[in-house]
Amino acid sequence: MSEVRLMLGNEAIARGAYEAGVKVSAAYPGTPSTEINESLAQYREVYCEWSSNEKTALETAIGASLSGVRAMASMKQVGVNVASDPLYTAAYMGVNGGLVLVAADDPGIYSSQNEQDTRCIAKAAQIPVLEPADCCEAKAFMKKAFEYSEQYDTPVILHTTTRLSHSREPVTEEPRIANTEKPYVKNAAKNVMLPGFARKRHIFVEERMEQLERECSDFDINTIEYQDMDIGIITGGIAYQYVKEAMPQASVLKLGIVNPLPKDLITAFAKKVKQLYIVEELEPVIQEKVQSWGIACQGKELFTRHGEYSVNLIRHGILNEPLKEAITGDLMRRPPSFCPGCPHRAVFSLLKQMNYHVAGDIGCYTLGALPPFEVIDDVVCMGAGISTLHGMEKAKGSAYIKDWVAVIGDSTFMHTGINGLINMVYNKGTGTVIILDNGTTAMTGHQDHASSGATLQQGEVMPISIAKLCRSLGILDVYEVNAFDTKKMKELLLEAVPRKSVTVIIAQAPCVLRKRHRE
């Protein structure tokens, strides 16, 4: 009855959540996290949605937890920034039904705008973090995360990375826990974070983390393999795999929980080994804490704070072996580019021809910064294009931005772009915003969103009209135009950009990849 399947790390996380009895899962797509919610959506016992952004996703999960069911949100590392407002306070409130946030980091920056380490946020927010090292653990730790969440009355973060999320391994399926639901109990002192209540909850949070620090030394998700006592390595997550292959004889303490750190366990391990190394990707979260206890160890002196780790890198760091890197010389690269027939091509060709500057945003269209177009001037984060154009205008005057436009996709506009537009209208900005409306979240693999007309599990829905939404802000000049009609678009731009008020041009044409799939 238990079936073994070759599961993607993200599928294993979804399976773990399913088996843990999760009832509600909310997410906004983002590489490398997207497949978690997509995979979970196949289980009809679980309500899954694409939320409008990571903040609404986490808040949805918090509400579901409050009501008494097990709930989760999943997102990429930069999505955690968007969700961090509710996250920090959810730590104070604790949970009713178990609450888990899956955060997928991207060491090596395969598909992100930065390389931040979620463990740093978790530390600041005082939220426990579990770190699986392979797909089987991804499933098992997800179940543990729900258990700890309820046991310690805290949200728990399951921390994964691109390499784990996008690795496949045989994983054994187990049955779903039938009933995990709890009754709802009104409790303002716990769930209304007024200053008077929050002060008390902060004390609870401190005590909870201290209790966890004491007790997590006994958690079975931490394991010790004593071998050669000359070299001891503390590691966790995917880095454990590199350690085992690079240093098969070393003694290894593999941490399943990395916030808080199991102090007793680490201290005992450190005492037994001669040389202690800490191997962790990105920030020295474990190392700094261990050193703060007066334990001598080496870590970031030997290994990088950036990029992905590898077997070679560890042998290089500890054994001083030369780095055996693949030799590709100055081979012609294959930079990603717009698909043949992509409507974004038409718009960027025109913008280049008209010599405009572009305040850009996050999506396929970020490629407009690369050859042959090279028209995008800045890209910060989801929704920032409209606001950065606004800031440019306020700094240098409205005449200065008369050869500028902001460009943003439909999904990104619904995510956080709308906030920038509200701000621009309210503060008497005069910018021109082009919304590239291809009807889908294309970059992450064609997920639906609030203005695409469908949901993840609930079938079709009336799409929120971007044009009507913009008009409702009081913007008089809102145009809908075929993205390939560059003649019309050029006329509109020549008219709109010099105008002393906000203009929105919605360039419509379906994503060519999606069109092909549907045909």
User: What residue ranges bind other proteins (CB under 8 A)?
Assistant: 4, 6, 8, 31-32, 110-111, 134, 163-164, 166-170, 238, 240-242, 244-245, 310-312, 324-328, 330-340, 364, 367, 370-372, 443, 445, 513
CB 386 within 8 A of CB 431: yes
Size of the chain, expressed as the number of residues it contains: 519
Q: How far is the CB of 267 from other proteins (least distance, A)?
A: 27
Nearer to other proteins (CB atom), residue 342 or residue 493: 342
Nearer to other proteins (CB atom), residue 27 or residue 425: 27
Nearer to other proteins (CB atom), residue 30 or residue 299: 30
Name the amino acid, one letter, at 331.
L
Q: How far is the CB of 153 from other proteins (least distance, A)?
A: 35
Task: Classify residue 212 as left (phi > 0), alpha (psi -120 to 50) or beta.
Answer: alpha
User: Residue 161 corresponds to which tokens in the numbers above?
Assistant: 């990375």
Nearer to other proteins (CB atom), residue 106 or residue 393: 106
Q: Is 237 helix (H, G, I), strand (E, B) or coil?
A: coil
Q: How far is the CB of 247 from other proteins (least distance, A)?
A: 11
Beta-bridged to residue 210, according to DSSP, are none
206-223: b or e for each residue (b if 16 or more CB lie within 10 Å)?
Answer: eebbeebbeebbebebbe
Residue located via tokens 């996008």: 166
Nearer to other proteins (CB atom), residue 126 or residue 438: 438
Nearer to other proteins (CB atom), residue 339 or residue 467: 339
User: Residue 256 corresponds to which tokens in the numbers above?
Assistant: 């399943």
Q: How far is the CB of 194 from other proteins (least distance, A)?
A: 43
Nearer to other proteins (CB atom), residue 260 or residue 368: 368
Query: Within 10 Å of residue 236's Cβ, how many Cβ atoms?
Result: 29
Nearer to other proteins (CB atom), residue 279 or residue 433: 279
Nearer to other proteins (CB atom), residue 292 or residue 328: 328
Q: How far is the CB of 364 from other proteins (least distance, A)?
A: 7
Nearer to other proteins (CB atom), residue 245 or residue 495: 245
Q: How far is the CB of 51 from other proteins (least distance, A)?
A: 21
Give the burial class of 514: count Cβ atoms within 10 A of its Cβ; 0-12 exposed, 13-18 middle, 19 or more buried.
middle
User: Residue 34 corresponds to which tokens in the numbers above?
Assistant: 């997207």
Q: How far is the CB of 517 from other proteins (least distance, A)?
A: 11
- DSSP alpha helix (H) spans, 397-481: 410-412, 418-426, 466-472
248 cis-preceded (ω within 30 degrees of 0): no
CB 419 within 8 A of CB 383: yes
Give the burial class of 481: count Cβ atoms within 10 A of its Cβ; 0-12 exposed, 13-18 middle, 19 or more buried.
buried
For the chain, what is the radius of gyration of the CA atoms? Answer: 25
CB 360 within 8 A of CB 377: yes
Q: How far is the CB of 442 from other proteins (least distance, A)?
A: 9
Q: How far is the CB of 79 from other proteins (least distance, A)?
A: 15
Nearest by Cα to 247 from 320, 350, 348: 320
Nearest by Cα to 346 from 284, 273, 438, 283: 438
CB 345 within 8 A of CB 484: no
Q: How far is the CB of 307 from other proteins (least distance, A)?
A: 13
User: Residue 488 corresponds to which tokens in the numbers above?
Assistant: 């019309």
Q: How far is the CB of 444 from other proteins (least distance, A)?
A: 8
Nearer to other proteins (CB atom), residue 121 or residue 367: 367
User: Residue 399 corresponds to which tokens in the numbers above?
Assistant: 């005449």
